[in-house]
């Protein structure tokens, strides 16, 4: 099995390839489709738009939607926004806690250099 660092490097490499080809300024949904294409081309398993119910004492309080889960280990939350609001990181951390995933990537494609738009989160 691939190590966490190697896996996140591959995911980030795919995101960089998408950003290199498309640049900033497009809709998040376009980046998501392009990233799925790149992940597939690298042989990485992923699920996109994963619906996860929020349970409390056997009651469903609602649900949320994950942009991507790669290799059933890394939650990838995509953005295409002017500013990286701290609420996005909090959102990713909530998703990670509720799904018991220890590793997450927040990727904002709306930046001149993609490395400035990537946040790695470990719980």
pLDDT of 2: 78
pLDDT of 68: 98
H helix intervals, the chain: 4-22, 28-41, 86-99
Residue pointed to by tokens 């997450």: 104
pLDDT of 83: 85
pLDDT digits (tens, 9 = 90+) for 58-98: 999 999 999 999 999 999 999 999 988 899 999 999 999 99
pLDDT of 56: 93
> What is the dotted CATH code of the domain comprising 4-122?
3.40.1350
Q: Read off the pTM.
A: 0.94
């Amino acid at each position: 099995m691939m190590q966490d660092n190697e896996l996140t490097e591959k995911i980030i490499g795919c995101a960089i390839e998408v950003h290199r080809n498309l640049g900033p300024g497009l809709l998040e949904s376009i980046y998501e489709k392009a990233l799925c294409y790149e992940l597939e081309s690298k042989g990485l398993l992923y699920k996109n738009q994963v619906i996860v119910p929020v349970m409390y004492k056997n009651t469903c309080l609602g649900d949320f939607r994950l942009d991507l889960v790669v290799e059933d280990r890394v939650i990838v939350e995509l953005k295409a926004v002017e500013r990286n609001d701290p609420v996005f990181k909090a959102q990713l951390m909530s998703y990670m806690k509720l799904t018991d995933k220890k590793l997450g990537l927040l990727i904002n494609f709306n930046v001149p250099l993609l490395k400035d738009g990537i946040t790695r989160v470990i719980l």
